[in-house]
Each structure stands twice: as C-alpha cells, then as structure tokens.
Structure 1
Amino acid sequence: MTPSHQDRVAVVTGAAQGFGQATCRRLAERGADVVAIDITEPTETIALIEQAGQKATGLRIDVTDPEQTQRVEHEVRSRYGRCDILVNNVGVYPAIHMDELTYDTWRKILTINLDSQFLMTQAVLPLMKEAGWGRIVNLTS
C-alpha cells in the first residue's frame, strides 16, 4: 500500500534535477502540493508536479544563505499556510581525490551539505510547530 500525502505541503531542496526532482514528482503523485527549491530555476520539476495534478511553487534559493532561507517561511506561509514535510536533499561532493581537496573546498562542501539542512529546518520549523505536526528528512550524498 502506498502511503498518501493527500492535502500535505512538502518543501524539497535540490529539486531541479536528480533525486530531488524525483522526490518532488513522487510526493505530487501521492497527493502533496510541492515547493521545489533549487539554486537554479526548477522549471522542469514544476511541470512534473503540475502534471501529477498538484499545486507547485518553484523558488530559486541559495539554501546556504540565512536571509534567503528565511524567505522560504514567508513564501510557504503566504501560499499554503503550512509545511508538513521538509526534504533536505541538496548535497555536493566534488569528483576529486581526498588528497587533492583543499580546506576551502571542504568548508564549502560542509556549508552546502550541513548548514543548508540547519537553515532550512529553522525556516520551516515554525510552520510545523504551529500545525503540531511535521516530518523532516535529511539526505546527503
């Protein structure tokens, strides 16, 4: 049995392609309205969500920027009134060997992979607390 996400609102980061895009599509197929967030415009993802018959919002956000992530709460609140599901999917790892990795690059990886999860969770947590319900899924690659 496939669990239903009917009447839920989901926020997904790293949504423009790959696993994030597939997650958005699957959530929509199961009845959730989806806010697709990426550093690039998630146009194709929005089309997939709408093809599944659900409401879609695309936000071009740098999830490592505290000011931009706080914008997420406002956008989700004004468009949907709540956030039920957060999927922190954004993650990077450059295709280089560890002995070639600089400390600056390492810090950028941690900022994208870890700080973004903290910032996005803080952005939507007030909405989940108000509703008394929510699910947060943290992924990284």
Structure 2
Amino acid sequence: MTYRAGVIISKILLVEDNKQNALLIRRVLEARDHQVIHAEDGESGLRAAMEEIPELILVDLGLPDIDGQTLVAFFKRTSELKDVPVVAVTAWPEDTAREMAQAYGCDGFISKPINTRTFPDQIAAYIAGA
C-alpha cells in the first residue's frame, strides 16, 4: 500500500472475464490512482495473485474456467494471500450474491453493474479493513 497526499493507493487484482465490466471497474479504480492488475480467467487470476500479492482481490464468481468457490478457497488457504480481502463482484441477485459470497469465504460482495459513484468508497472500505 502506498500513500500520496492523504490518499491510499493500493494494488488491486481484478479477476473478471467480461471485458466491458473489467474496463469500467479498471477505469473507476485507476481514476482513484489504484494500480489494477486484470486477469481474464481464474487460471490467470491465480498466477497474478501469487506474482503480485495484491492488497485486495475482486473476483467474478461466474468465471468460465475455475468456479468462484475453488478460486476463493485457493486464495484463502495460501499463506501469502490468506489475509488479503477477497470481494465477489457479481451480477447475481443481491440475496443470492450475499449468501454465495459468504459460503465461498469472501470478505464481501459488490453487485454488478457497479455504481460508479459509490464503488470507490466500497473499495476503500475493504482496503481499510484489511
């Protein structure tokens, strides 16, 4: 984590297969000076997480190659990543998203489509809680 002019700048891993969603999330986070590492699938996400050791992991639970539960379980049982907050970013209905995120071991969830006005504050709260 880096500080500049009172702003926390974090390295965030985004595991998202939808290019439009990834672009929007990346733009919103980079506008707040966060460093965003994007992985388009679970395999790439696993590699990026181990190489980069981010301060926050945002993960779409409906990836094409590795299911969300397996991916989150890997993050949570890997010593270098176990304390990194993992937040599900999903288009599932809110009740389902909350239930699945909790069952999968996520530290929280954010519904898609993201609200570009509130999203940065949601991210800041997860980073601050890390």
Structure with greater strand share of residues? 2
Tell me the TM-score normalised to structure 2 length: 0.40
Q: Which has the higher contact order (CA 8 A, sep 6+)?
A: 1
Please say which structure displays the higher CA radius of gyration.
1
More helix by share: 1
